[in-house]
A and B are shown apart, each in its own frame.
Chain A
């Protein structure tokens, strides 16, 4: 019989554009999140609109998008706008991959909660989520 532990789980949607094949990082992160007890919905998207819909339907706590070929500022802006429209503006948004330092202020202005660019570790992202969700 299962021992009774808290039935709650942190749910994360991790997505990356289908146009971008550099998905080793996001897969590694997904695996680390699994090992830390999170439920990860792994997805690929064409338009960022698909991510907003998936986050709505799955009722995740965190949306994580991996960018390796640019477009992160425009996509983040549209994602935040769609989330507001759909009534899910309360969810945490983190981005990672290749995010030039020059773009960080713009992303912060768009209410992107966590930015994990080149050199970040999976543990940092997981710690960040653990601290912010169910806090």
Chain B
């Protein structure tokens, strides 16, 4: 099938074509890029919402509950759910879908599981491409659920219009809450499992942290008024408490992005595009490096030299780059 045919089929709603292109993107097949180029004019319409947080905080169950609410509003939904790849075998068990089975027979919900395949940062190399395909399929909202992350995996914020950080009671004290990293990129904070002890304290810590960073008229340090003050929403995905507030917060944030001619949204999308170009650049350089070097055998030999102290790793790197004609 030509890239033109693939793009045409996806835009006209053929699900197998979309699913197969996602696979080609995930498997880094060069022909996928041609189809993505053609799909690009059909993208940019969907709202992309990121859902991130530590393992076990309930991201998948929360995603499922959000999908249910969005479907009640008659919005079509795409879900990208990321789980980790084994660093030893390269295999993976993807279990996010199991929490979303009630949407399995809904033709307006398209769920795709992805494995990290060695990528750090909470997402996969293919996530952006898969989101683009869902966008071109005409999905109104695309939810991207990251792999369970720690403190520093902020890729999602560079890809989503709205980033939701999910936490639960008992994860750490108020100093955890003011550290750099993931808490800085949240547009909405969710304290999930609010039926558990300490939910109020956790929400209080988050609110206190936010009051140090955000201020309607700017902080002492920057004096710049913030266009958006991240809310803290307490939820229970299982019984549905707090879900209305979360959906309202998502709408409010979208409003803040699009108000005033969409200044904030434009700013974010420029940042996103910049990151995307840089990522693609790195990927191509990487591919070029390995193609010229011939499959990593050389690296192993040089690694032995470094381990046995015959050569330092900085010189080793420079020599490899020289032999790949990069410097």
Which applies to chain B's interface (DSSP): helix, strand, loop or mixed?
Answer: mixed
A9 CA to B86 CA, complexed, in Å: 13
With an 8 A cutoff between CB atoms, is A105 at the interface?
no
A/B pair count, beta carbons within 8 Å:
96
A44→B110 contact, CB < 8 A: no
A47→B105 contact, CB < 8 A: yes
A34→B91 contact, CB < 8 A: yes
Min C-beta distance of A111 to chain B, whole Å = 19
How many of chain B's residues touch chain A, expressed as a range? 35 or more
Contact with B along A11-42 (1 / 0, CB 8 A): 10000001000000000001101111111111
User: Given that A4-B296, A34-B86, A40-B91 are known contacts, is A57 also in contact with B98, CB under 8 Å in the complex?
Assistant: no
With an 8 A cutoff between CB atoms, is B93 at the interface?
yes
B295→A34 contact, CB < 8 A: no
A37→B16 contact, CB < 8 A: no
Within 8 A of A (CB), among B192-226: none
A31→B93 contact, CB < 8 A: yes
A contact residues, total (Cβ < 8 Å): 38
Question: Which one of A5, A53, A86 lies within 8 Å of B104 (CB-CB)?
Answer: A53
What are 23 A-B residue pairs whose CB atoms fall within 8 Å in the complex?
A: A1-B286, A2-B118, A4-B290, A7-B28, A9-B115, A9-B117, A18-B101, A34-B92, A35-B91, A37-B90, A38-B91, A39-B85, A40-B92, A43-B98, A49-B104, A50-B105, A53-B105, A54-B111, A56-B15, A56-B19, A57-B111, A59-B19, A86-B15
Give me the interface of A with B, judged by CB distance under 8 Å.
1-5, 7-9, 11, 18, 30-31, 33-47, 49-50, 53-54, 56-59, 86-88
